[in-house]
Amino acid sequence: MTAAPEPLPPALDIRSLAVDLGGRPALTGVDLTVRTGELVGLIGPNGAGKTTLLRTVLGLLTPRSGSVAFDGAPAAGRRGGIGYVPQRHEFAWDFPLSVEKAVLTGRTHRVGWLRRPGRADREAVAEALERVAMSELRGRPIGELSGGQRQRVLVARALALRPRLLLLDEPFTGLDVPTQELLTALFTQLRMEDKALLMTTHDLPAAAGMATRLCLLNRTVVADAPPDALRDPAVWLRAFGVTGSEQLLVALGVTG
């Protein structure tokens, strides 16, 4: 009888993570895994540590304690398999770049600063632009793009790496409906292609509709379960640090 194959390690495995910012705890005792084929929504109030968590996974912040593993090995220095979509205001849109060249910057660590991009790089960029419906605008200066077009450029920039793990920081903020629908379909398709996605968002109904799991974070993990299992209003109120908010519960679609 053939033995069952060993299960693959999680794409992302965070254990007992603690991170300080400015000498104060930003994250404490965070445990979180994201496996291939999962889209995990990271939900919490402002200041809960969501972006801090993403930046720690990327190695941009050094944890006080705990571990972050990517594909079963320490994540530090392994950016090759991790795509990152930052919030739009973090990108220099006034820099004189075309859409195509902006997406190509996502492969800088592969190409190197002094080498010309090769055929594989150009193919990866073309594929990424096609997936976000921006191929026809490849030559347009990024400073002339709308907000939705800029968001699609950032997603394409991350996809140009052909990552196994995709980190998304508030990808739906301020978007028009067509771009929201395009990205929702794209992220769902990527999950079905056995990518692992971790997404911070304030768009709670959208997260509940597309995520396989929701992780409620407020400096530590308050709850981690499929959306349908998070129907207890007390859990949401605790995650958002409030004692009672009818407006919040209505927005979440959660009732007692």
Q: What is the pLDDT of residues 81-90, one digit of tens each?
A: 899 999 998 8
> DSSP of the chain, one letter per residue?
-PPPPPPPPPSEEEEEEEEEETTEEEEEEEEEEE-TT-EEEEE--TTSSHHHHHHHHTTSS--SEEEEEETTEE-TT-GGGEEEE--GGGS-TTS--BHHHHHHGGGHHHH-SSSPP-HHHHHHHHHHHHHTT-GGGTTSBGGG--HHHHHHHHHHHHHTT--SEEEEESTTTT--HHHHHHHHHHHHHHHHTT-EEEEE-S-HHHHHHH-SEEEEESSSEEEEE-GGG---HHHHHHHTT-S--HHHHHHHT---
Using one digit for the tens of pLDDT, what is the confidence trace for 180-228?
A: 999 999 999 999 999 999 999 988 888 888 999 999 999 999 999 999 9
Using one digit for the tens of pLDDT, what is the confidence trace for 48-102?
A: 999 999 999 999 999 999 999 998 877 776 667 899 999 998 888 988 999 999 9
Using one digit for the tens of pLDDT, what is the confidence trace for 138-183?
A: 999 999 999 999 999 999 999 999 999 999 999 999 899 999 999 9
Architecture of the domain made up of 12-90+165-252 = 3-Layer(aba) Sandwich (3.40)
Domain ranges of the chain: 12-90+165-252
The pTM for the full model equals: 0.89
